[in-house]
Structure 1
Amino acid sequence: MERTFTAERAAHARAVAEANHRQIGRPLAHPEDKIEYARLLKAQGDSLGVIAGKTGIPKTSLHRYLGD
């Protein structure tokens, strides 16, 4: 019975957050504008190390975002 109340409270909290235009769930690790900047740098021929230094995104994440 307690689980039902917990689920209801969580659903209510999500609804209130949505109504107040707040983000729901886990925060973004890296903003989309930084990822786009990384794509631009990659297109210009910069290495992943240089891109990581300029954007602050770790190289392992850059591999995932930029592919090969």
Structure 2
Amino acid sequence: MRIILLLVVVWLVIGAVAAGQRGYFGNEPGDCAGAGTIALTVLAGPLNYVGVNPKVTECQLPQPSQ
């Protein structure tokens, strides 16, 4: 169980490093698509280094009821 947890943490750290190298942490995302792109990049982990470049082009957040 510890090995699986360690692998997951290492996977996410590698994804965070890739997002940092792409400059995603330089400023806050302007919209939910930017935040989604950062999240997908971190979740993709080491796949970022073999050509995966996840991007969220649009997203719609639900509006609160009035």
Query: Structure 2 length as normaliser, TM-score?
Result: 0.34
- The structure in which a higher percent of residues are helix is 1
Normalized against structure 1, the TM-score is what?
0.33
Higher Cα Rg: structure 1 or 2? 1
Higher relative contact order (CA 8 A, sep 6+): 2
